[in-house]
Amino acid sequence: MPDWLDVVVRSFTFLIVLFLVTKWLGKKQLSELSFFEYVSGITIGSIAAEVAMGLERNIFNGILGIVIFAAAPFVAGLVSLKSKKVRDFIEGKGTVFIKDGKVMEDNLKKEKYTTDELLELLRKKDVFQAADVEFAILEPTGDLSVLLKKENQPLTAKDLNLAVAPIKEPQNVIMDGEILDEPLSTIGQSRKWLNTELDKLGVSIENVFLGQVDSYGQLTVDLFDDKLQVPSPQEKPLLLATLKKCQADLELFALETKAKEAKHMYTKNGGKLQGAIDKVTPLLRN
Amino acid sequence: MTVGSQVKQCLSSLKSIEAGLSSLALRTQDIEAKRNLHETMLVTHEVVLDLEKRVGELEQEELQYKGF
């Protein structure tokens, strides 16, 4: 067998082996959460490259080495699932760099991080002032996780005591002009319904690049033709506006009528509608 | 426009709201939101019933506008 053919055979063999090994180890190996996985990942790659090009080496020894280096993190992962102690030993523990807003200089020294490197890690987290940080921990992967002081955290609806409409994940029902049936049945709708919604927007299915349905059954689309303007869903705001109009009408009737009983009925129902409006406003606001 | 026709207009708007809320509640995936929308629909329905009664009374008073 000529040398070049040998290289071709070896390369394809190791491509397949590497593919199977990465499938076997799964996503955890890719995320390289522990130092162990990081090192074994590099070693597996090196062995494959070495044996694919080094023609004097035995293919099966190479595969054996790869399998062992893949099996070790796999077994370590299984064991660390069971025991916290093993987990701490294999995957390592984080080191606290900032606690109660104060930098822990001793811990920095222990991990051999300079002040500049700490500031660099903080800047990667969009923190330019160390005083803004309440707590920061160096993860075993080398990432810095930062908890900002409460006043520096982004404002949330919870902070404002604001009622917001709950949402679920949107479903992609149209991709590249093709209807996807599975997401459509997940939200319990049919192709017929989708076609009606598209007609309402005034677009044809071939022109739709991406179509998504939110958790309130509203369809939003992106078109291939970017010059066309697509109206945003108006159903919910329209419903809220009509509800408010009816409530105002009822109050007006209550003021206008001379019949005592009718006045009472209008006032009562006006109050009922006001309560209903308060309840659904967060849901119907876009 | 007479008072009677104004009330009738309001009544039909409320019926449309009731239907809109009902269809929205059916399509909504979140259970909490679904329940809120459905409860609001029921409240709207109570108002519709009261207004229908009032429309009947008004038709008695203004017989010439009956049916519109």
Dihedral sign for Cα A218, A224, A226, A227, please.
negative
| Whether pLDDT at A202 is above 80 | yes
How many Cβ atoms from other residues are within 10 Å of residue B67's Cβ?
A: 4
Say if CB A97 and CB A114 are below 8 A apart.
no
A249/chain B closest Cα distance in angstroms: 7
| Whether pLDDT at B1 is above 70 | no
| Whether pLDDT at A221 is above 90 | yes
Closest CA to A218 of B24, B37, B56: B24
Residue A25: what pLDDT? 83
**Is A95-152 in CATH node 3.30.240.20?**
yes
Give per-residue pLDDT as tens, A85-116.
988 888 888 899 999 999 999 999 999 999 99
* Average pLDDT in chain A: 90
Q: How far is CA B68 from CA A106, B8, B12, B55, B62, in A?
A: 86, 8, 12, 11, 11
| Whether pLDDT at A276 is above 80 | yes
* CA A205 from centroid of its chain's CA atoms: 28
A106: its two tokens: 């001793």
Residue B66: what pLDDT? 65
Strand partners, A208: A223
Say if CB A135 and CB A98 are below 8 A apart.
yes
Whether B13 sits inside 8 A of A246 (CB atoms) is yes
Average pLDDT over every residue of A119-138: 95
DSSP B22-67: HHHHHH---HHHHHHHHHHHHHHHHHHHHHHHHHHHHHHHSGGGTT
A193: its two tokens: 């319904």
Q: What gap in Å lies between CA A24 and CA A26, rounded to an integer?
A: 5
| Whether pLDDT at B68 is above 60 | no
**Which one of B40, B44, B49 would you mutate to disrupt binding with A, by most A Cβ within 10 Å of its Cβ?**
B40
Give per-residue pLDDT as tens, B6-54.
899 999 999 999 999 999 999 888 899 999 999 999 999 999 999 999 9
How many Cβ atoms from other residues are within 10 Å of residue A139's Cβ?
A: 14
H-helix segments, A96-234: 105-110, 115-124, 181-186, 191-201
Nearest CA in chain A to B17: A239
**Which one of A239, A268, A272 would you mutate to disrupt binding with B, by most B Cβ within 10 Å of its Cβ?**
A239
ipTM for the predicted complex = 0.89
Q: A283 — contact with chain B (CB < 8 Å)?
A: yes
Q: What gap in Å lies between CA A105 and CA A103, rounded to an integer?
A: 6
Q: A200 — contact with chain B (CB < 8 Å)?
A: no
Nearest CA in chain A to B9: A246
| Whether pLDDT at A260 is above 70 | yes
Give per-residue pLDDT as tens, A72-85.
888 888 898 899 99
Strand partners, A37: none
B68: its two tokens: 């519109």
Average pLDDT over every residue of A28-51: 82
For the domain covering A171-230, report its CATH number: 3.30.240.20
A284/chain B closest Cα distance in angstroms: 9
A247/chain B closest Cα distance in angstroms: 9
Say if CB A208 and CB A196 are below 8 A apart.
no
Say if CB B39 and CB B20 are below 8 A apart.
no
Average pLDDT over every residue of A235-245: 93
Residue B64: what pLDDT? 67
Question: Nearest by CB to A269, which of B6, B20, B47?
Answer: B47
Question: Nearest by CB to B50, which of A215, A236, A265?
Answer: A265
